Structure 1
Amino acid sequence: MKIASVAEVKAQFSAYLKESEQGLVIVTRNGRPVAALLAVRNDEELERLVLAHSPRLQSILKTSRQQIREGEGISHEDFWHEMDEEEPGKDKKRPKGKKKTV
């Protein structure tokens, strides 16, 4: 991990982008972290990063976890059964498990 000021990053942006391919670059202002540069290697990695920081998705997950704790979820098998009914002709092989899914 490398730490650099906003001024340093601004002056040598391309170099810090390249540096981010080796590891996280923390950008500071007045000695305090304000941003991070993180290389993205492919579309899947970018999608995971965006979703991990999505307030909407985090809200949905929080609500889902609460519903599961309160016993309002459905079983893993029931979830996939419902999905298969909605999409006829789809591959019927689904993971087995007893997890609750909302």
Structure 2
Amino acid sequence: MKEVSLSEIRDDLSRFLREAETREIVITRHGKPAGVLIGFETEEEWFEYRLEHDPRFLRRIEQARNNLRAGHGTRLEDIETD
């Protein structure tokens, strides 16, 4: 993780976006953290990030886990394949 001031980001955003593909960049304002710049090397990484931060998707995962804990679900061993 790297810290960069907001004024530096403004001066060369393109460079920092490229750099953010490999590590997060903490943007500071007056020396204090104000945000994080996260880059994506591929569209798949962007899709995964969106999914991991989508509250609807996270709720569905939690519901599925609760159903499994309650004994509702299908085991992989029980699924027939042709």
Q: TM-score, normalised by structure 2?
A: 0.75
- Per the alignment, residue 32 of structure 1 pairs with 33
Alpha-carbon distance between aligned partners in 2 of 1:74 and 1:45, rounded to the nearest angstrom: 30
CA contact under 8 A between 2:3 and 2:28: conserved in structure 1?
yes
Q: Which 5+ residue runs of structure 1 have no aligned equivalent? A: 85-91, 93-102
Q: Which 5+ residue runs of structure 2 have no aligned equivalent? A: none
Q: Residue 21 of structure 1: CA displacement? A: 3.1
- Per the alignment, residue 69 of structure 1 pairs with 69
Larger radius of gyration: 1
Mapping 1:5-84, distance limit 5 Å:
5-30=5-30, 31-34=32-35, 36-78=36-78, 81=80
Q: Report percent identity of matched pairs.
A: 28
Deviations 1:25-50 (A, max 9, x none): 1123341342x222212222221111
Q: Residue 24 of structure 1: CA displacement? A: 1.5
Alignment RMSD, CA only?
2.1
CA contact under 8 A between 2:26 and 2:34: conserved in structure 1?
yes
